[in-house]
Structure 1
Amino acid sequence: MIKQVILWMLFLVSGSTLSVSESQSASLLPHAAESFNVSYIQMKNAGSCSYSVAISTSCSSPRYTRDHVSIAFGDAYGNQIYAPRLDDPASGTFESCSSDTFQISGPCAYQICYVYLYRSGSDGWKPESVKINSYNGRPVTFYYNTYVPRDTWYGFDLCNSASSTSSQVSMQKWLIFMVLGFVLSFWL
């Protein structure tokens, strides 16, 4: 009887662990930003900070692009950094199998949790990843490995997923303790 209860408990715990893992990986895919507004830049921090942004272009991207590429990124508190033009076809920016690093200044932000790229033009472009280093947070890398659609802000918003993931883990721990309590009540 006790063995059956323990096996049932392990099955329940492993099933809830799998559901948390699946929800995390699904939220890590780039998507079009339906309601993203680049004009909303919160200027509550008086200072200006510098960010190092390294963008790697996929080897399956066109050899070069003449498309205009912009970036916007920020934190969960509304601090947004925006660079309207990163591209420079004359210098070979965004060639396939290459990496380009940009120094971008903007409002001081906390941990960067979202990034969107915007592409206009007809050449096409496939970024591999975007890595952002800031003074006030740990470096963060967003993995695209897909073409950026034309005339659309496209990327990641993980600002809310961090809190929802922690609440899912808390719920999972609560469930484990409930099951353990149930098992121990029969044992004692």
Structure 2
Amino acid sequence: MAKKTKKKKKFSRNLFRLLLIIVAYFGWYYTRTLEGMLITLGVFILSFLMIKIWWKMRRVLQLRKAGIKQIDEMTGEEFEEYLGMLFKKRGFKVRYTKTSGDYGADLILEDRENTIAVQAKRYSGTVGVKAVQEVIGALKMYDATEAWVVTNSYFTKQAQKLAESNDVYLIDRDELIEIILDSK
């Protein structure tokens, strides 16, 4: 997954560079001045940034409006991003961990007193013991005071029992819906 993301970013950067060269060429071709070329590049970059900001804001608004049905259709990364926005709304400082090699936590939440390691599981089936074990491992890695597992589904009895004996807070579908409704 990480290799695909790196290749995609590299491709995007190279495509942007190629576009800059093409725009600079057209600026030079039509004005035959360095000033005309620079103005054309400036207008292009400004337009590009405005479109990028608009696209990002559009995405943020879509995530804010999302309900449980939209969450069920999200990818794991989108679910993590959604949870981050949800917890920011509730006053937490949110840090995202790496996609792979995250030591069992997808989000790190911080408030004045606590650091919370959060394992996000967007599943169609029930969430088992493995998710609880992963977030327990993340406690020491991130110097967290609490561990949470959040899902759009429900937990198995074994996961609930392990979480209870290790003070891991479980947020299942019903509680997630309550949090979403409280945030709107």
The TM-score with structure 2 as length reference comes to 0.28
- Larger RCO: 1 or 2 (CA < 8 Å, sep 6+): 1
Higher relative helix content: 2
TM-score, length of structure 1 as denominator length: 0.28
- The structure with more strand, counted as a fraction of residues: 1
